[in-house]
Chain A
Amino acid sequence: MLVRKDRQAGEGYQVPIGQAAYPAPFKGRLEFNPPVHENWNIVHIGMRMPESRQIYVCADNCMRGVVLTAAEMNASDRFSYVVLEEKDLYEGNLEDVTIEGVSSCIEKLEERPPVVMVFLVCLHHFIGTDTGRVYRELEKRFPDICFLRCWMDPIMQKLGLTPDQKLRKAMLDPLEEPQVRDQRAVSFLLDNFPLEEESGLYRHLTERGIKVRQITDCQTFEEFKGLASSGLYVTRSAPGLYGLEKMARRTGGDYLYLPCAVSYEEIRQETEDLCGRLGIPVMDFEEREKECDRALERALALIGDTPVAIDYLGVPRPLGLAGLLLDKGFNVTRVYLDAVSPEEEQAFLDLQERYPDLLLCSTIHVSLRLDHGDAPETLAIGPKAAWLTGTDHFVNLVEMNGMWGYDALIRLSSMMEEAFLHAGDPRDVLPRKGFGCESCI
């Protein structure tokens, strides 16, 4: 029988934003992992690469998570692995074990993949593995295969790059400087969710003769490499920016980061920047902003003063969205996040000044194992907010589902209405991995 105990001051799982520290409102302690698994992990992201195979080299316990991620998305046939054992740590031959293991996985395949993502792990760092030798040897043995240098090394992620950032960078490594660059084409790269063809931005670009290319359009590795020939590279994902910068510098291309802005002003700025780079006129901002206003007003009329909670997994700019909704009259009471993104520093400061009582809530604090589900009357935007508040009324989305700009706000308004009117099934939905990916559970 578990019993709650009063918490020490300063160690709580929530804090009014007016009293919160930037960028870390909560102390880094032991971590709890809520039963919400809709985020994409490195397996999901890597599977976007056409014709690729992933090979992991790690210990049993770490391996199981990625093996079953692939199995649950019905992609076991694109996944292999090499299990490390204690002897591999002591005998000073981790390079050999890695080379022979990866080679063995490849040799067992009926068909040779054109691209293999090799994932090394924390142990390789700590033992000081000569990764240069590993890849030189693999490339010598399999000259027809493009090996991508990937990592599953979460021990490095708090002080350095995350495995996600490294993977996205590795995915762009095969792209080379094109012989001919198509200045009337733009490649959207490293986003988990594509920009939908029906979206306003997509239509605005294509109607003005701009060709839009995305990884989801590519059926083969060669087609994927062809994404390098666009005149402009764009990512809408913060973890993709590191890789995009590197690739653009290497290939001599122009690039743009188009984050999921939620304020009208920032959407205008970003759209102007994009259209300016492509040499096309911008859209009618005033008309689109009126559309957003009407959508939000309609949602507010229905939702009224129902408490609203937003999480960082559903919305990449949760504080920005909280500010927008509060300004429009919604009763936003909580924002779930564990750290404030540098992109949201200004939104954080604005909210501190104008809405100091807004609660920032952790998603990993130890007490949440016992203190979850305390606000079931809430309308949640995002899956973590849904589980942590205990509501059945939630907008189920991850990374804004790839929606962007005015479309994102209009569509989100309508999803909020839908969630307010109809209860979802969190028990069924939230534990599924990789929102939007195939799932066999």
Chain B
Amino acid sequence: MRQAYRIISVYTGDLSGACSALYELGGMTVMHDPSGCNSTYNTHDEIRWYDQDSLIYISGLNDLDAVMGNDDKLIEDITVAAEQTNPRFIALANSPIPYLNGTDFEGIARVLEADTGLPVFYIPTNGMHDYVRGGGLALERLAEKLLKRNQKNREERKGTEEENEGGKIRVNVLGMTPLDFAATSSVSSIRRILSEAGMEVTSCWAMGDGLDDLLKAPEADVNLVVSSLGMRAAVYLKKTFGIPSVFGLPAEGIRQEVLCDLKRAAEDKKDRFPCRDLRGKQQEGEKVLLIGEPVTMGSLAAVLEKKRGCCVRLVCPTEDCEAFMAEGDMLTRGEEEVEKAFRAGEYVIADPLYQPIVPASCPFVPLPHLAFSGRIFLKDMPDLFGDLPASCL
């Protein structure tokens, strides 16, 4: 049965993805849930929880309030908490029981906005999707709610003193969360790479930058989407401000190609997909399988094809990833499908918690991913913007 899992892990859920995406922005994120989602998030999905304060809370919903539809308690509790902690905004995340009950979060958000005077938005999670979906929705809703107040786009700035005097290409980095980029050097790496290429980071969604930085996003020339988690925000920025996107990592091995795509996209306003389009050059040779989120893993696949001369296929178990898949990649749902996909490979690169379902005859290279194995292999998480671990090459 597709929904039955014998032994592998499960990807970070949508609520955790939403909380992770908003973590550093000074807002308050409230999971409307009894208990478990909060502890799961801050134990396994949030490596900043011990060292960096962020207003992530749970409502502690009980059965009586859920059955009686006692939304007043949620509204009052959030209002009191906002008075005590002074957030920049409030985000409401849904979970299975309020989802089942049909709780009117949009209405609750309107009431809260009137009561607190703060921007309030709803993230339509339900605990049944993965972090790509949840984190993506969170960044999209944040953009919808807050960026429209700062709509002076690139065209409007032309010829004014606000225009970038140095002529540098200005870049929004979209989709950065520790769930895909757990190595502590990740943020400084991407900034350094763009800076060395003569570009400027306008905002990084959402690690290392605060809300004020993100509010400058409409001023950018191009988006660099480093995880499919950033796709929804990218679509919004294109639709609203005309900013095109490049989907891929400027990782060592394909860096020049990705940077070149950024420059071209800034000029012709067209989206580009190096995580997909740089691949498929090798149809012969050893068949390597790489599993995970497709923008990061697709970029690494392109690096591998180039450096190792092998034929790499992606196994994509995350949601919202169809647009990034190349020919021969496999969309999988559930342990059985992943296990079947692994049988087709001659060499597997994956998170160590996949190893129990990799055929014993197939060489296995561990590539830890926080969104799959949590903090277990934290010390071994590679900086995806740097060189691939030697074991992969």
Contact = CB atoms under 8 A, between A and B. Distances in A.
Interface of A: 1-5, 7-8, 11, 28-33, 35, 37, 59-65, 67-68, 71-72, 76-77, 79-86, 89, 97, 100-105, 108-109, 122-123, 125-127, 152, 154-160, 366-367, 369-370, 427, 430-431, 433, 440-441
A35 to B, nearest CB: 4
Nearest to A78: B7
B34 A122 contact: yes
Contact of A68 (B4, B60, B376): B376
B164 interface: no
A80 B4 CA distance: 8
Given A81-B5, A157-B35, A33 B42 contact: yes
A79 B100 CA distance: 27
B196 interface: no
A3 B84 contact: no
Contacts of A154: 34-36
Contact of A33 (B7, B11, B39, B78): B39
Contacts of B388: none
B77 interface: yes
Given A2-B26, A108-B4, A29 B80 contact: yes
A15 to B, nearest CB: 15
Interface in B25-82: 26, 30, 34-40, 42-45, 49-50, 53-64, 66, 77-78, 80-81
Given A60-B128, A366-B81, A31 B58 contact: yes
B389 interface: no
A326 B56 CA distance: 36
B84 A7 contact: yes
B363 interface: no
A157 B39 CA distance: 15
B97 interface: yes
B97 A60 contact: no
A284 B353 CA distance: 54
Given A81-B5, A85-B128, A1 B60 contact: no
Interface of B: 1, 3-7, 9-16, 26, 30, 34-40, 42-45, 49-50, 53-64, 66, 77-78, 80-81, 83-87, 95-97, 100-101, 125-130, 210, 334, 353, 356, 373-376, 378
Nearest to A387: B50
B109 to A, nearest CB: 16
B128 A5 contact: no
Contact of A60 (B26, B83, B101, B127): B127
Nearest to B210: A1
Given A65-B36, A108-B4, A366-B84, 16 more contacts: A4-B85, A37-B39, A61-B37, A61-B128, A62-B40, A67-B9, A76-B9, A84-B3, A86-B128, A97-B3, A101-B4, A102-B4, A105-B5, A127-B100, A427-B50, A431-B375
A60 B128 CA distance: 5
B60 A59 contact: no
A71 B3 contact: no
Contacts of A68: 9, 40, 43-44, 373-374, 376
Contacts of A433: 43
Nearest to A430: B50
B63 A61 contact: no
28 contacts: A2-B53, A2-B54, A30-B59, A30-B60, A31-B58, A33-B58, A62-B36, A64-B16, A64-B40, A65-B36, A71-B374, A77-B7, A80-B6, A81-B4, A83-B3, A84-B3, A86-B128, A101-B4, A108-B4, A123-B97, A123-B100, A154-B35, A155-B62, A158-B62, A160-B63, A366-B85, A427-B50, A441-B376
B63 A125 contact: yes
B79 to A, nearest CB: 10
Contacts of A156: 62-63
A369 B100 contact: no
Nearest to B13: A61
B9 A30 contact: no
Contacts of B375: 431, 441
B55 to A, nearest CB: 6
A155 B97 contact: yes
Contacts of B353: 71, 76
Nearest to B62: A158
A65 B44 contact: yes
B80 A62 contact: no
A438 B391 CA distance: 29
Contact of A5 (B13, B14, B83): B83
Contact of B96 (A30, A101, A122): A122
B6 A30 contact: no
Contacts of A100: 1, 4
Contacts of B38: 31, 33
Contact of A370 (B1, B45, B83, B85): B85
Contacts of A37: 39, 43
A64 B14 CA distance: 11
A64 B64 CA distance: 26
B210 A72 contact: no
A433 to B, nearest CB: 7
Contacts of B126: 59, 86
Contacts of A76: 7, 9, 353, 356
* 9 A-B pairs with least C-beta separation: A61-B13, A65-B40, A104-B4, A154-B35, A104-B1, A61-B127, A155-B34, A30-B57, A154-B34
Given A37-B43, A86-B126, A127-B100, A32 B57 contact: yes
Given A5-B85, A65-B39, A71 B58 contact: no
Contacts of B356: 76-77
Given A71-B9, A80-B5, A8 B34 contact: no
A89 B102 CA distance: 12
Contacts of B55: 2, 366, 369
A64 B100 contact: no
Contact of B64 (A123, A159, A440, A441): A159
A431 B50 contact: yes
A159 B96 CA distance: 19
Given A1-B210, A59-B96, A157-B35, A105 B15 contact: no
A108 B336 CA distance: 10
A30 B43 contact: no
B43 A81 contact: no
Contacts of B10: 60, 63-64, 67, 81, 83
A63 B54 CA distance: 24
B132 to A, nearest CB: 12
A431 B127 contact: no
Nearest to A72: B376
Contacts of B374: 64, 68, 71-72
A59 B376 contact: no
A152 B36 CA distance: 9
B66 A71 contact: no
B370 to A, nearest CB: 11
A8 B97 contact: no
B36 to A, nearest CB: 5
A4 B4 CA distance: 46
Contacts of B11: 60, 64
A159 B62 contact: yes
Q: Which among A59, A80, A158 has the greatest number of chain B C-beta atoms within 10 A?
A: A59
Contacts of B49: 35
Given A2-B53, A31-B60, A82 B34 contact: no
B61 A61 contact: no
A35 B42 contact: yes
Contacts of B40: 61-62, 64-65, 68
